[in-house]
Amino acid sequence: LHIPMYFFLASLSLLDAAYISTMAPQILVHLLAPVQVMPRHACLTQIFLLHFLAPWECCLCTATAHDHYAAICQPLRYLVLMGQRTRTGLASISCLLALTSALTHTILAALLKFCGPRLIAHFSCDLPPLLKLSCSTTWANELALLFFGFLVALAPCALVVSSYIHVVAAVFRTHSAEGRRKAFSTRGAHSTMVCIFYITSVLHCILPSSSHSGLRDRVPSVLYVGLAPMLDPIVY
C-alpha cells in the first residue's frame, strides 16, 4: 500500500467521495422538497466546489497515467521516478490548478446580475444554466470556461492519450504473453475510469449548449455527478 500507485488511488477515492457529497445531496433535496430554493451563497459555494474537485480529479487522472507509464516503460527506475517528492509535487500542482480555476469561476459568477426569472432548469447550480439567466455580459465567464477547459481538461486528456500510446507500444514490444497480460490488466482499470470520466464530462459540458430539451440538459449532469464516482471503487 506504500507504492506510488496506491497514493494516487487513495487521492482519487477521497476526491470522488468529496465530489459526490457536494452534488448528490442537493440533487436529492431538489427532487424531494416542495420548495426548491437555493440561496445565492449556497449556489456560489456549489460552483466553487464543482470547479475545484472535478478539475483536481482530472489532473490526478493524468498523474496516475504518468505513474502507470513509469511502471511499465521504466520499471527499473520506477521508484526513483515516482518518489515521494514527485508524487507530492504532482498532487500539489493539480490542486493549485483546480483552485485557480474554482476561484476564477466563482468570482466571475458572483459579479453576474439577474434581472428576470431566476429558475435554473437544472439539478445543480452550475455555470452554463446560470449564464443563460444573467442579464449582464457573460463574455468573461465564457472565456474563463474555454481557457480552464483547455488547461484542466483537454491538455490532461492529451497527456493521458500520449501515455497510453507509449504504454501500448512498450507492451507490444514485450515477448512474454504473461508480461503483456499483466501490463494490460494493470492499465485496464485506469483506462476504464478515464473513459467514463471524460465521456460523462463531455456530455455534461457540450450537450446542454447544443440542445433545447431540458431533459437532455439534466441527464448528462446526473451521469457526470453520480456514475463515475459510483463506479470508481467497483472498477478499481
Per-residue pLDDT of the chain (236 residues; tens, 9 = 90+): 677 778 888 888 888 888 888 877 877 887 787 777 788 888 899 899 988 988 898 888 888 888 888 888 888 888 888 888 999 999 999 999 999 999 999 999 999 988 877 777 667 787 877 888 888 888 999 999 889 988 888 888 888 888 888 888 887 777 677 766 776 666 666 677 777 777 666 555 554 444 444 555 566 666 666 677 777 777 76
Q: What is the pLDDT of residue 186?
A: 63
With beta carbons less than 8 A apart as the criterion, state whether 163 and 151 touch: no
With beta carbons less than 8 A apart as the criterion, state whether 49 and 102 touch: yes
CA angle 216, 221, 225 (to 5 degrees): 155
What's the pTM? 0.82
Q: What is the pLDDT of residue 203?
A: 56
Dihedral angle of Cα 62, 20, 140, 145, to the nearest 10 degrees: 30
Coil, helix or strand for 53?
helix
Q: What is the pLDDT of residue 212?
A: 41
Cα 157 versus chain centre, distance? 11
Tell me which DSSP letter residue 124 carries.
S
Tell me the DSSP string of 205-227: HHHHHH---HHHHHHHHHIIIII
Q: What is the pLDDT of residue 210?
A: 42
Q: Among residues 207, 121, 83, which one has the least CA distance to residue 130?
A: 121
With beta carbons less than 8 A apart as the criterion, state whether 190 and 136 touch: no
Residues of 140-166 as b/e, b for ≥16 C-beta within 10 angstroms?
ebeebbeebeeebbeebbebbeebbee
List of domains in the chain: 2-234 (1.20.1070.10)
